[in-house]
Amino acid sequence: MVALPYILDSYYYIFEELSSPITKGWFLTRKPYLMIGLVTAYYYFCTNLGPRLMKHRKPFHLAKVLLVYNVVQIIVNFYIIIEAIRYVFLSNYYDMRCKGLETDEKIATWVANGMWVYYLLKVSELLDTVFFVLRKSLRQITKLHLHHHMLMVITCWFGTTYYPGGQWVLIGFLNSIVHVIMYFYYLISGLGNRYKKYVWWKKYVTIVQLVQFVLIAIYNINSMFYECSYPFFYKFFGTFYSVFFFTHFAKFYYDTYVNPKPKRKTLNNIKKQ
């Protein structure tokens, strides 16, 4: 019984005292079990439950749903871009060399709100994979796809809960630009076969993603040579994260567009592993 008070005290310290007071009580922040439960349910549904439920069913026709979904994603990502431009480029608050949290409560809350919306956007993007399952497009559910979506939610939870601001903003800005391009591609390609000729630039979406990872890595590495309140661990993690996904997306690009192979790591391969 001695261990129970220690566990409770540790839980309170880690998830209450260490977390940002700005985002306290905001939806899907702080409480780790909500985020962990969401990510776990997502993985289980997309790799196990969903495919089993759809095995003897016809794929859902979700053209109208996807049309609305893609438009909403574009609009919200545009909102993130505009807010980031206002903060990073049109104000005197942001230092491109190294940037910590704002000391002014009003500005800090404004920045945190943008990060929170960005976090919820990453949560909503889990629907990408759910739609693949419902449409029985299981070949598109790769290990890279699953891991990227899950890690984005986990990373954004940490950022919004513990450090809602600083250099996260510019990273989210770059990522939102990529996602506007990506969801615009999805929007056009989902309009029907007569629009297929307008989406010849599919491989360039991946190239833009690769450029994004390079820019984020350079930005984080450069900031290591300057001091500010932004923790060094976040700089290191941002660099590692960018390099990690750059290598995986580069491999995807090579295997898909440079040297196509008959088999990729799809859902069936995941189950076997």
Please list the active-site residues. 148
CA pair distance 12, 7, nearest whole angstrom: 9
Contact between 101 and 145 under an 8 Å Cβ cutoff? The reply is no
Q: How does DSSP classify residue 58?
A: P
Tell the residue number behind the tokens 């500005």, with chain if given: 107
- Give helix 127-134 / helix 143-162 axis angle, nearest 10°: 150
CA pair distance 223, 96, nearest whole angstrom: 8
Which residues have CB under 8 Å from 256's CB, separation 6+? 203, 206, 264
Name the helix (H) or strand (E) containing 102.
none
Contact between 102 and 108 under an 8 Å Cβ cutoff? The reply is yes
Contact between 65 and 190 under an 8 Å Cβ cutoff? The reply is no
Among positive and negative, which fits the CA dihedral 105, 111, 114, 118? Answer: negative
Contact between 172 and 76 under an 8 Å Cβ cutoff? The reply is no
